[in-house]
Structure 1
Amino acid sequence: MNFDRKYLVWALGYLVAGMCVGLYMAASKNHAQRVAHAHILLVGFAVSFIYGIIHRLWLDRPGKVLATTQFVLHQAAAIVMCVGLLLLYGGVLSEPVLAPVLGAASLGVLLAALLMIWLVRQSGRAEAAA
Protein backbone atom coordinates (compact mmCIF):
# COMPACT_ATOMS: atom_id res chain seq x y z
CA MET A 1 0.00 0.00 0.00
CA ASN A 2 1.36 3.41 -0.95
CA PHE A 3 1.73 6.16 1.62
CA ASP A 4 -1.01 8.24 -0.01
CA ARG A 5 -3.50 5.40 0.50
CA LYS A 6 -2.22 4.65 4.03
CA TYR A 7 -2.76 8.27 5.00
CA LEU A 8 -6.22 8.28 3.42
CA VAL A 9 -7.27 5.14 5.32
CA TRP A 10 -6.01 6.58 8.62
CA ALA A 11 -7.60 9.95 7.90
CA LEU A 12 -10.97 8.32 7.36
CA GLY A 13 -10.55 6.39 10.62
CA TYR A 14 -9.93 9.67 12.48
CA LEU A 15 -12.94 11.18 10.70
CA VAL A 16 -15.20 8.42 12.00
CA ALA A 17 -13.72 8.69 15.52
CA GLY A 18 -14.15 12.47 15.53
CA MET A 19 -17.72 12.18 14.31
CA CYS A 20 -18.49 9.63 17.02
CA VAL A 21 -17.17 11.99 19.71
CA GLY A 22 -19.24 14.80 18.15
CA LEU A 23 -22.38 12.65 18.13
CA TYR A 24 -21.75 11.67 21.74
CA MET A 25 -21.45 15.33 22.75
CA ALA A 26 -24.62 16.24 20.88
CA ALA A 27 -26.62 13.35 22.31
CA SER A 28 -25.42 13.86 25.88
CA LYS A 29 -25.50 17.67 25.68
CA ASN A 30 -22.09 17.50 27.35
CA HIS A 31 -19.50 19.31 25.25
CA ALA A 32 -16.55 18.76 27.58
CA GLN A 33 -14.76 16.75 24.87
CA ARG A 34 -14.77 19.60 22.32
CA VAL A 35 -10.99 20.05 22.54
CA ALA A 36 -10.39 16.33 21.97
CA HIS A 37 -12.99 16.34 19.19
CA ALA A 38 -11.22 19.23 17.44
CA HIS A 39 -7.82 17.56 17.73
CA ILE A 40 -9.11 14.25 16.39
CA LEU A 41 -10.52 16.02 13.35
CA LEU A 42 -7.64 18.45 12.79
CA VAL A 43 -4.49 16.58 13.79
CA GLY A 44 -5.92 13.17 12.95
CA PHE A 45 -8.19 13.62 9.95
CA ALA A 46 -7.16 16.89 8.29
CA VAL A 47 -3.40 16.58 8.68
CA SER A 48 -3.37 12.90 7.67
CA PHE A 49 -5.53 13.74 4.65
CA ILE A 50 -3.21 16.59 3.65
CA TYR A 51 -0.16 14.35 4.04
CA GLY A 52 -1.88 11.81 1.78
CA ILE A 53 -2.46 14.50 -0.84
CA ILE A 54 1.18 15.58 -0.59
CA HIS A 55 2.33 12.00 -1.13
CA ARG A 56 -0.05 11.59 -4.08
CA LEU A 57 0.77 14.85 -5.84
CA TRP A 58 4.35 15.74 -4.93
CA LEU A 59 6.29 12.77 -3.60
CA ASP A 60 6.98 10.28 -6.38
CA ARG A 61 9.53 8.11 -4.61
CA PRO A 62 10.27 9.32 -1.10
CA GLY A 63 13.03 7.59 0.83
CA LYS A 64 11.27 4.54 2.27
CA VAL A 65 12.90 4.71 5.71
CA LEU A 66 12.28 8.45 6.14
CA ALA A 67 8.73 8.27 4.77
CA THR A 68 7.92 5.30 7.02
CA THR A 69 9.42 7.06 10.03
CA GLN A 70 7.39 10.19 9.29
CA PHE A 71 4.17 8.18 8.84
CA VAL A 72 4.60 6.09 12.01
CA LEU A 73 5.64 9.12 14.07
CA HIS A 74 2.64 11.17 12.97
CA GLN A 75 0.14 8.37 13.56
CA ALA A 76 1.58 7.33 16.94
CA ALA A 77 1.80 10.92 18.18
CA ALA A 78 -1.70 11.75 16.92
CA ILE A 79 -3.21 8.70 18.62
CA VAL A 80 -1.44 9.43 21.91
CA MET A 81 -2.53 13.08 21.71
CA CYS A 82 -6.16 12.26 20.93
CA VAL A 83 -6.48 9.54 23.56
CA GLY A 84 -4.70 11.72 26.12
CA LEU A 85 -7.10 14.59 25.45
CA LEU A 86 -10.11 12.27 25.70
CA LEU A 87 -8.81 11.05 29.07
CA LEU A 88 -8.08 14.60 30.25
CA TYR A 89 -11.37 16.20 29.24
CA GLY A 90 -13.31 13.10 30.25
CA GLY A 91 -11.97 13.52 33.78
CA VAL A 92 -10.33 10.09 33.78
CA LEU A 93 -6.78 11.34 34.44
CA SER A 94 -5.57 14.66 35.77
CA GLU A 95 -3.59 17.32 33.92
CA PRO A 96 -0.41 16.78 35.97
CA VAL A 97 -0.43 13.12 34.97
CA LEU A 98 -1.17 13.75 31.29
CA ALA A 99 0.86 16.92 30.69
CA PRO A 100 4.16 15.11 29.96
CA VAL A 101 2.42 12.63 27.67
CA LEU A 102 0.54 15.35 25.80
CA GLY A 103 3.71 17.41 25.54
CA ALA A 104 5.63 14.50 24.04
CA ALA A 105 2.77 13.77 21.63
CA SER A 106 2.69 17.41 20.56
CA LEU A 107 6.41 17.34 19.89
CA GLY A 108 5.94 14.12 17.92
CA VAL A 109 3.31 15.75 15.70
CA LEU A 110 5.61 18.74 15.19
CA LEU A 111 8.59 16.53 14.37
CA ALA A 112 6.47 14.58 11.87
CA ALA A 113 5.51 17.89 10.21
CA LEU A 114 9.17 18.87 10.00
CA LEU A 115 9.98 15.49 8.46
CA MET A 116 7.22 16.05 5.88
CA ILE A 117 8.80 19.40 4.99
CA TRP A 118 12.12 17.57 4.56
CA LEU A 119 10.49 14.96 2.30
CA VAL A 120 8.92 17.67 0.13
CA ARG A 121 12.19 19.61 -0.08
CA GLN A 122 14.13 16.46 -1.01
CA SER A 123 11.55 15.63 -3.68
CA GLY A 124 11.95 19.11 -5.16
CA ARG A 125 15.72 18.66 -5.30
CA ALA A 126 15.32 15.31 -7.06
CA GLU A 127 13.04 16.92 -9.67
CA ALA A 128 15.47 19.79 -10.21
CA ALA A 129 18.35 17.38 -10.72
CA ALA A 130 16.42 15.29 -13.28
Structure 2
Amino acid sequence: MDRKLVMTGLGYGILGLILGIHMAATHNHGQLVTHAHIMLIGLVVSFIYGACYKLWLLQPKPMLAKLQFYSHQVGTLVVVICLYLMYGGYVSGETLEPFLATSSILVLLSMILVKVMFIQSKKQSL
Protein backbone atom coordinates (compact mmCIF):
# COMPACT_ATOMS: atom_id res chain seq x y z
CA MET A 1 0.00 0.00 0.00
CA ASP A 2 2.89 2.37 0.72
CA ARG A 3 4.13 2.15 -2.87
CA LYS A 4 0.64 2.69 -4.31
CA LEU A 5 0.20 5.83 -2.24
CA VAL A 6 3.60 7.25 -3.15
CA MET A 7 3.05 6.47 -6.85
CA THR A 8 -0.37 8.16 -6.91
CA GLY A 9 1.03 11.06 -4.91
CA LEU A 10 3.83 11.56 -7.42
CA GLY A 11 1.27 11.42 -10.22
CA TYR A 12 -0.67 14.23 -8.55
CA GLY A 13 2.59 16.12 -8.07
CA ILE A 14 3.30 15.96 -11.80
CA LEU A 15 -0.25 17.10 -12.58
CA GLY A 16 0.00 19.95 -10.07
CA LEU A 17 3.33 21.13 -11.48
CA ILE A 18 1.99 21.05 -15.03
CA LEU A 19 -0.98 23.17 -13.94
CA GLY A 20 1.36 25.54 -12.07
CA ILE A 21 3.64 25.94 -15.09
CA HIS A 22 0.60 26.52 -17.30
CA MET A 23 -0.67 29.24 -14.95
CA ALA A 24 2.74 30.92 -14.92
CA ALA A 25 3.11 30.74 -18.70
CA THR A 26 -0.34 32.18 -19.38
CA HIS A 27 -0.22 34.70 -16.49
CA ASN A 28 -3.65 33.37 -15.52
CA HIS A 29 -3.68 32.17 -11.93
CA GLY A 30 -7.40 31.41 -11.85
CA GLN A 31 -6.72 27.77 -11.01
CA LEU A 32 -4.57 28.55 -7.96
CA VAL A 33 -7.02 26.85 -5.58
CA THR A 34 -7.10 23.75 -7.79
CA HIS A 35 -3.30 23.71 -7.98
CA ALA A 36 -3.01 24.00 -4.19
CA HIS A 37 -5.44 21.12 -3.62
CA ILE A 38 -3.67 18.91 -6.14
CA MET A 39 -0.36 19.54 -4.43
CA LEU A 40 -1.64 19.26 -0.86
CA ILE A 41 -4.20 16.45 -0.75
CA GLY A 42 -2.92 14.79 -3.92
CA LEU A 43 0.85 14.87 -3.45
CA VAL A 44 1.62 15.73 0.17
CA VAL A 45 -1.13 13.80 1.96
CA SER A 46 -0.74 10.73 -0.28
CA PHE A 47 3.01 10.78 0.34
CA ILE A 48 2.51 11.11 4.10
CA TYR A 49 0.10 8.17 4.05
CA GLY A 50 2.66 6.15 2.07
CA ALA A 51 5.32 6.93 4.69
CA CYS A 52 2.91 5.98 7.48
CA TYR A 53 2.24 2.60 5.88
CA LYS A 54 5.95 2.00 5.30
CA LEU A 55 7.09 3.01 8.78
CA TRP A 56 4.25 2.10 11.12
CA LEU A 57 1.29 0.40 9.46
CA LEU A 58 3.14 -2.75 8.48
CA GLN A 59 0.23 -5.17 8.78
CA PRO A 60 -3.01 -3.21 8.52
CA LYS A 61 -6.30 -4.99 8.07
CA PRO A 62 -6.50 -5.43 4.27
CA MET A 63 -10.12 -4.29 3.94
CA LEU A 64 -9.51 -1.20 6.07
CA ALA A 65 -6.36 -0.33 4.10
CA LYS A 66 -8.18 -0.67 0.77
CA LEU A 67 -11.10 1.42 2.02
CA GLN A 68 -8.65 4.09 3.20
CA PHE A 69 -6.73 4.10 -0.08
CA TYR A 70 -9.75 4.26 -2.35
CA SER A 71 -11.67 6.80 -0.27
CA HIS A 72 -8.64 9.10 -0.42
CA GLN A 73 -8.06 8.61 -4.14
CA VAL A 74 -11.71 8.96 -5.20
CA GLY A 75 -12.25 11.90 -2.85
CA THR A 76 -9.13 13.69 -4.06
CA LEU A 77 -9.87 13.08 -7.73
CA VAL A 78 -13.44 14.39 -7.44
CA VAL A 79 -12.32 17.44 -5.42
CA VAL A 80 -9.68 18.29 -8.03
CA ILE A 81 -12.04 17.84 -10.99
CA CYS A 82 -14.79 19.89 -9.34
CA LEU A 83 -12.41 22.70 -8.41
CA TYR A 84 -11.02 22.77 -11.95
CA LEU A 85 -14.51 23.00 -13.41
CA MET A 86 -15.60 25.64 -10.91
CA TYR A 87 -12.54 27.91 -11.07
CA GLY A 88 -12.37 27.49 -14.84
CA GLY A 89 -15.90 28.82 -15.07
CA TYR A 90 -17.20 25.66 -16.75
CA VAL A 91 -19.75 24.69 -14.08
CA SER A 92 -21.31 26.77 -11.31
CA GLY A 93 -20.30 26.33 -7.70
CA GLU A 94 -23.94 25.66 -6.79
CA THR A 95 -24.02 22.69 -9.16
CA LEU A 96 -20.72 21.31 -7.87
CA GLU A 97 -21.36 21.88 -4.17
CA PRO A 98 -22.88 18.43 -3.43
CA PHE A 99 -19.98 16.73 -5.21
CA LEU A 100 -17.39 18.86 -3.42
CA ALA A 101 -19.03 18.21 -0.06
CA THR A 102 -19.22 14.45 -0.58
CA SER A 103 -15.69 14.14 -1.90
CA SER A 104 -14.30 16.29 0.92
CA ILE A 105 -15.99 13.96 3.40
CA LEU A 106 -14.34 11.01 1.63
CA VAL A 107 -10.93 12.65 2.07
CA LEU A 108 -11.75 13.22 5.75
CA LEU A 109 -12.91 9.59 6.12
CA SER A 110 -9.59 8.49 4.68
CA MET A 111 -7.68 10.42 7.33
CA ILE A 112 -9.92 9.05 10.08
CA LEU A 113 -9.21 5.53 8.82
CA VAL A 114 -5.45 6.14 9.00
CA LYS A 115 -5.92 7.32 12.59
CA VAL A 116 -7.94 4.17 13.38
CA MET A 117 -5.23 1.96 11.87
CA PHE A 118 -2.59 3.78 13.92
CA ILE A 119 -4.57 3.15 17.08
CA GLN A 120 -4.98 -0.52 16.16
CA SER A 121 -1.28 -0.92 15.34
CA LYS A 122 -0.33 0.46 18.79
CA LYS A 123 -2.61 -2.07 20.46
CA GLN A 124 -1.07 -4.89 18.42
CA SER A 125 2.48 -3.98 19.45
CA LEU A 126 1.77 -4.04 23.18
Task: State the TM bucket, normalised to the shorter chain.
Answer: over 0.9
Q: Distance in 2 between matches of 1:83 and 1:13?
A: 15
Q: Confirm whether residue 108 of structure 1 aligns to residue 117 of structure 2.
A: no
Partner of 2:116: 118
Q: Distance in 2 between matches of 1:23 and 1:90?
A: 16
Q: Confirm whether residue 33 of structure 1 aligns to residue 42 of structure 2.
A: no
Q: Distance in 1 between matches of 2:50 and 2:58?
A: 12
Partner of 1:92: 90
Partner of 2:41: 43
Q: Which runs of 5+ in 2 are unaligned?
A: none
Aligned partner of 2:97: which letter? A
Q: Confirm whether residue 61 of structure 1 aligns to residue 44 of structure 2.
A: no
TM-score (structure 2 length as normaliser): 0.99
Count of matched residue positions in the alignment of Structure 1 and Structure 2: 126
Structure 1 residue 97, shift from structure 2 partner: 0.4
Q: Distance in 2 between matches of 1:99 and 1:23?
A: 28
Pick aligned residue for 1:22 from 17, 20, 23: 20
Structure 1 residue 115, shift from structure 2 partner: 0.5
Identical amino acids, percent of aligned pairs: 43
Structure 1 residue 30, shift from structure 2 partner: 0.3
Pick aligned residue for 1:78 from 76, 79, 84: 76
Aligned partner of 2:53: which letter? H
Q: Distance in 2 between matches of 1:92 and 1:20?
A: 20
Q: Which runs of 5+ in 1 are unaligned?
A: none
Displaced runs of 4 or more, over 4 A: none
- RMSD of the alignment, in Å? 0.5
TM-score (structure 1 length as normaliser): 0.96
Structure 1 residue 60, shift from structure 2 partner: 1.2
Secondary structure, aligned partner of 2:90:
coil
